[in-house]
Amino acid sequence: MANYWAIAIGVNQYHLFQPLRCAQADAEALKDFLIQQAGFLTQQCLLMTDTSAPVEDRPTYPTKDHILLWLEDLAAVCWQPEDHLWFFFSGYGVNHNGRDYLMPVEGDPKFVEETGIEVRSLMQSLQLANLNVLLIFDINRASGSLGETPVGQEIIELAQELQLATILSCQPDQFSQESRELGHGIFTGALLSALRSGYGSDLTQLEQHLSGLTPELSQHYWRPTQNPVAVIPFPEQAILPPVENTTDTEVELSASIPSTIEPSEPEPIIFSEENFAMAFTAPSIGEPPRTTDKLPKFDIWKGYQGVETNGNGKSLILTLDKQPLPSTKTEVTQQPEEESAGRFIPEAPQPYITRLPANKVEPPLWKQFLLWGGGTMVVVSLISIVLLRNQVKVLKARQQLAATSDTQIIKTPSTPRPLPKLSPAPLSIPKNQSTAQIAPISESKKRNQAVLDLAKMSLRQTQASDLSLAIATAKKIKPGEPLHEQAQENIKIWSQMILDLAEGRAKQRQYANAIAAAKLIPKDEILYTKAQKSIEQWRSEAKQFLANQTLIEAAKALIKPGQASTYNRAIEVAKRVPQAQPGFDLAKTSINNWSAKILDLAKNRADQENFDAAIATATLVPEGTAVYEDSQEAIQKWQARKKSQ
C-alpha cells in the first residue's frame, strides 16, 4: 500500500530579503489540513518554518543544508516507489541566469547559485525517486529581482518535461500576493478553501476550482489579479488518500473541525502595517457585519439561498443549511456599518450563473417560418447541385469507357499472331537481396505509415508525450471496428519509438528525461518489461553519474590558479572515478586539461630560465595523460640547458 508524505516549508523572517507575513501560516495550515482532514499520518508530515520544532533532535529550521539533508535522508530511508509526496514551498523564488531557485531563510540575492535551492536539481531528484509527486509553489517575487527574468517559467517547462504534477501560485509575469485580513497568501487561501470544500479528489478538479477562486480572492482583497498555473501530466491522478467509511462518532468529531481558512475561535495575530491601502474590508467572523445599504446591490447571487453579497458580488454572510450550530440562529442578519470589519469566507459554494439574458423574447412566428423555410430551401438546392454534377461525371465516364472498348475491338486482328514460346525459368531472388532483407522493407512501410498517421494528428515523432497521446487515441478503436488492426500495429511502432527516444536520451546522460519517456510505454505492451528494466538501469547509472560528477566538482574546487601542486591533487581525486561508470569520460577530459595546465606552468618557468622549478613542475604531469610524453621531452631539454649554463 502506498504511503502519503508531505513536506511543508514556509519562510517569513528572511535574513537578506524583505520579511513575509503569511508564509509560515501557509505551511502550518496545509500541514494541519493534511493530518486532520486528509488522513496523512503525523509522522509522515514534515514542517519547516522559522519556529518549527525539531524532529528527533534534528533541526527543521528552513536553511538550504537542512532542506537538502532532509530530502536526501527521506529518499534513502523512507520513501518507496509509487508513494505519494506533497512538496509545498511558500517563500521567495528567484530566476538567475535562466534558472529558477527557491530561496531558503539565509538566501542571498547577490549569491543566488551558492545560497539558493536549484529547482531543476530538486525536481530531477524527486523524479528519480519514482514517487507520485505534487509540487506546490507559492512563490513571491523578490523586490531585488524586479526587471530580471520572471521566476516560474523554467518550473513550468521542467514540470512538462519530467511529467511532474506542479501548481504555481501565479503566472510568471504576475506577482504572488499576501493578505493580512485573510491571514494567508491569496493562492494558499484559495488552495485551503478548495481542499476543505472537497475539491481535492483529483488534480483536474482542484485546478478548475483554483483557477476561479484565486482571481476572486485577489479582487475581494484589493490585490492585483493572479492566475494559478497547473501542469497536470495525469489528469485522474489521486492526490489524497482514499476516503474510508466513517462511523457516526467519527462524523461528529469531523464536524468539530473548522471548514474555513480561519480557526473556529479567533486568535490575536500581530502583523506589521500593510503596504496597500485598504478601501474596504469584509465583516469579521463572529462579529456583526457591516450593512450594505449604501452600496449598490448586484443580483449575481439572486435565488441562491443563504448568501448575501456586497457591492463586489462576493459572499460575506452564509446561511448553512442542514448544519445547525449550538446556540446559533439559522440565519444571520445584517448590522449597522459602524461595527468592526472582518474576513471573507472563501469556502462559500458558488451557484451557477447563467450567461443568457434574463428575459429572452421569442421572435414572431412568421419570422421563424421564413428562417426555417429559407434555410431548408438552401440546403435542398445545394444537395441537388451536387447530385447533378456527380450524375454528369458518371455519364461522361461511361461514354469514354464505351468508346475505348469499341476501339480495342476494331484494332484486334481476326487471326491472332502466334506468340513466341518461352522456356520456363525458375523465379530467383537477386543475390544481393535475401529473405531477411525483405522483412525490413515491410517494417519500414509500416513505420512510415505510423509516422504519417502521427502527422495527420499534428503530433511529433521526436516528442515522447506526443507519441503517448497518439497511443491513447489509437486505443480508443475497439476490436471489430475499422482500422483496429492498423491501430494496434501503430501502437507497437509508437511504443518502440518512445523507447528509442528514451535510450537516446540515456546515452546523452539525460537520465531524468529518459526515465520520464520510458514510463509512457503502456503496461499491456510487450516492450513494457524491457522499459522497466531500462528504467532501473538508468536510475542506477544516474546515481553513479551524480556521484562521479560530484567527485569531479570536488576536484575542481581544489585548484588554485598558478599552483601546479593543486592541479596535481585535483588529478588524483578525479582518478577515483571508475572507468566503467558514467562520468569517466568527463574525469578523463578534466585530467588531460589539468595536465596541460601543469605543463604550461612549467614552460612559463623555463622561459624565465628557472629550470629547476620548471623540471619539478613538469614531473607532476601524470603518466598516461595526453601531454605526458611532451612533458618528458621538455624535462630532458631543460636538463640539457641547465648543464650548459
Parallel/antiparallel/unpaired status of strands 117-118 and 178-179: unpaired
Q: Is the pLDDT of residue 441 over 60?
A: no
* 7-21, 107-121, 171-185, 379-393: segment of lowest average pLDDT: 379-393
* 48-57, 251-260, 360-369, 416-425: segment of lowest average pLDDT: 251-260
Q: Residue 94: what residue type?
A: V
Phi first, then psi, for residue 229 (nearest 5°) are: -120, 130
Give 604-638 pLDDT, tens digit per residue.
999 988 988 999 999 999 988 999 999 999 999 99
How far is it, in rounded angstroms, from Cα 211 to Cα 203? 12
Cell 519517456 sits at which residue? 517
pTM of the model: 0.44
Confirm if 163 and 516 have CB atoms less than 8 A apart. yes
pLDDT class of 398 with cuts at 50, 70, 90: low
Q: Is the pLDDT of residue 60 over 60?
A: yes
Q: Which pLDDT score is estimated for 488?
A: 87
Q: Which pLDDT score is estimated for 600?
A: 93
Q: Is the pLDDT of residue 351 over 50?
A: no
Q: Is the pLDDT of residue 225 over 80?
A: yes
Q: Is the pLDDT of residue 601 over 60?
A: yes
Cell matching residue 551: 567527485
| Length of the chain, in residues | 645
Long-range contacts of 538-545 (CB under 8 A, 24+ apart): 538/506, 538/511, 538/514, 539/128, 539/130, 539/511, 539/515, 541/506, 541/511, 541/581, 541/582, 542/128, 542/511, 542/512, 542/515, 543/128, 544/581, 544/582, 544/583, 545/509, 545/511, 545/581, 545/582, 545/583
Q: In whole numbers, what is the pLDDT of the chain averaged over residues?
A: 75
Q: Which pLDDT score is estimated for 57?
A: 82
Q: Which pLDDT score is estimated for 275?
A: 34
How far is it, in rounded angstroms, from Cα 276 to Cα 180? 10
Q: Is the pLDDT of residue 572 over 70?
A: yes
Compute the average pLDDT of residues 432-437: 47
How far is it, in rounded angstroms, from Cα 203 to Cα 232? 7
Give 302-311 pLDDT, tens digit per residue.
333 333 334 3
Q: Which is more confident, 452 or 284?
A: 452
Q: Is the pLDDT of residue 347 over 70?
A: no
Give 541-568 pLDDT, tens digit per residue.
888 888 888 889 888 888 988 888 999 9
Q: Which pLDDT score is estimated for 355?
A: 41
Cell matching residue 350: 458558488
Q: Is the pLDDT of residue 99 over 50?
A: yes
> Cα–Cα distances in Å, from 584 out to 105, 146, 546, 587, 597?
37, 41, 12, 5, 20
How far is it, in rounded angstroms, from Cα 514 to Cα 502? 4
How far is it, in rounded angstroms, from Cα 206 to Cα 115? 33
pLDDT class of 579 with cuts at 50, 70, 90: confident
C-alpha torsion angle, residues 598, 602, 607, 612 (rounded to 10): 170
Confirm if 153 and 172 have CB atoms less than 8 A apart. yes
How far is it, in rounded angstroms, from Cα 76 to Cα 129? 9
